[in-house]
Amino acid sequence: MNAAEEIHDGLVSRTASLLGGPATFKRALTTRLDAHAMILSGFPGDALVHLSENVAIIRTPEAFQKALGVSLRTLQRHKKESASKKLSQEQSGRAWKFAEILEKAVEVFGTQAAAEEFLERPAIGLNQHRPIDLLATPAGVELVETHLERIKYGVYT
């Protein structure tokens, strides 16, 4: 495994941890193929619950809906029902992508609190849009990822 693959595998593991890690998935996710397989089969509902309990910026219904495309009612249903209730592929994919972007922001800003602050703050490089508001579409997700890469390499501060 080369250095780039090792860094990517670290990102996958950290992303999976935001969703509950092995306790949620019943196994470690260490590669993008592991994540792909879990998304296809649908994450356990506990992944949403774990994410909502450990990421402050998505604790409001509006932010949760924007970031994950899932209503508060769906989250409440997953909290009530057993962990065996699975998310759809789309819900699993959105949850994964949000967690992955948050982890990329942690890499850039150093802490989860700073990363969450970045997601909530209007950004000049995003035409004054808040990154969290752009996560509702694939095009917006791509914009946020590109913006983070530019910050990482010093294009935006």
30-78 pLDDT per residue, tens: 999 999 999 999 999 889 889 989 999 998 888 888 888 888 787 777 7
Q: pTM value?
A: 0.88
pLDDT value for 157: 53
CA–CA distance, 42 with 22 (Å, rounded to integer): 15
Res. 13: pLDDT tops 80: yes
Residue 107, CB-side half-sphere exposure with 13 Å CA sphere: 20
Average pLDDT estimate for 27-31: 93
User: What confidence category does residue 6 fall into, taking pLDDT thresholds of 50, 70 and 90?
Assistant: very low
CA–CA distance, 92 with 41 (Å, rounded to integer): 9
Inter-axis angle of helices 72-80 and 61-68, nearest 10: 90
